[in-house]
Amino acid sequence: QVQLQESGPGLVKPSETLSLTCTVSGDSITNYHWNWIRQSPGKGPEWIAFIYHSGNTKYNPSLKSRVTISVDTSKNQFALKLSSVTPADTAMYYCARLYSYGSVLWFDPWGQGTLVTVSS
Amino acid sequence: QSVLTQPPSVSGAPGQRLTISCTGSSSNIGALNDVKWYQQLPGKAPKLIIYDNTYRPSGVPDRFSGSKSGTSASLAISGLQAEDEADYYCQSYETSLGGFYVFGTGTKVTVL
């Protein structure tokens, strides 16, 4: 059974960089594309970015200038860095696998999520 | 930043049938991109309940059904049960600006 677990600070100061790590168990990170998705309180999810083990990446245009996603195949982990954060970046951050079934893709499974608050 | 619009809330009595709409545009749902639906229970991560517009993953009750027409999609819940009380989100792929995944604004389903 594939499981994902997010880790990182729950509180980040404005203008600083948010850093999170997702540890994957039950599947090799060399399979599939691995994603970060966030959800602000009371809002719908917002896709942030994905990475493939080769280093191929794709970013949400609205966040691209501030986001870096990376992968560590030796640890079966991938990471997110979001720079110059503001209180608007306060959200639950999820990591998720982009599962493929033929030509159809969906996010499954998701991690349990980690709440990141941006505040001084 | 959601480009897929859903009604904020719908409600119904146990046993009733509900439908949730998801309105997009020619650059996402209308661009032949399939729609997925996720159910989010309180305090939990979203869970896939419909993929490729109409298909249910194994284990999802057949009370849930999906459809798509033009630039919109719908999720129907028939025989509403108390355990269906949750937030529901549609999801597709936006083809503009290089392409990125998009979710709906979300619909809160309340079982009366």
3-state secondary structure B38-55: EEECCCCCCEEEEECCCE
pLDDT band at A103 (very low <50, low <70, confident <90, very high): confident
The residue of B100, B102, B103, B107 whose CB has the most chain A CBs within 10 angstroms, and thus the best one to mutate to test that interface, is B100
Answer whether B97 touches A (CB < 8 Å). yes
Q: What is the CA radius of gyration of chain A?
A: 14
Q: What is the largest CA-CA distance in chain B?
A: 44
The residue of B1, B68, B89, B107 whose CB has the most chain A CBs within 10 angstroms, and thus the best one to mutate to test that interface, is B1
Answer whether B99 touches A (CB < 8 Å). yes
Answer whether A48 touches B (CB < 8 Å). no
Tell me, rounded to whole angstroms, the distance of Cα A26 from its chain centroid.
Answer: 18
Taking alpha carbons only, the member of B60, B53, B48, B62 closest to residue B24 is: B53
d(CA B40, CA A39): 12
Do A111 and B89 make contact, defined as CB atoms within 8 angstroms? no
Number of Cβ within a 10 Å radius of residue B40: 19
d(CA B76, CA B65): 5
pLDDT in tens, B86-107: 999 999 999 999 999 999 999 9
A110 neighbors A4 (Cβ within 8 angstroms): yes
pLDDT band at B1 (very low <50, low <70, confident <90, very high): low
Do B103 and A46 make contact, defined as CB atoms within 8 angstroms? yes
Kindly tell me if the per-residue pLDDT of A88 is higher than 90: yes
CA angle centred on A63, ends A62 and A66, rounded to 5°: 145
pLDDT in tens, B17-51: 999 999 999 999 999 788 999 999 999 999 999 99
Q: Which two tokens stand for residue A60?
A: 């949400």
Percent of chain A topping pLDDT 70 = 100
Kindly list the residues from chain B whose CB atom is less than 8 angstroms away from the CB atom of residue A45: 38, 46, 89, 91, 103
Kindly list the residues from chain B whose CB atom is less than 8 angstroms away from the CB atom of residue A47: 100-103
pLDDT in tens, A48-76: 999 998 889 999 999 999 999 999 999 99
3-state secondary structure chain A: CCEEEEECCCEECCCCCEEEEEEEECCCCCCCEEEEEEECCCCCCEEEEEECCCCCEEECCCCHHHEEEEEECCCCEEEEEECCCCHHHCEEEEEEEEEEECCEEEEEEECCCEEEEECC
Answer whether B102 touches A (CB < 8 Å). yes
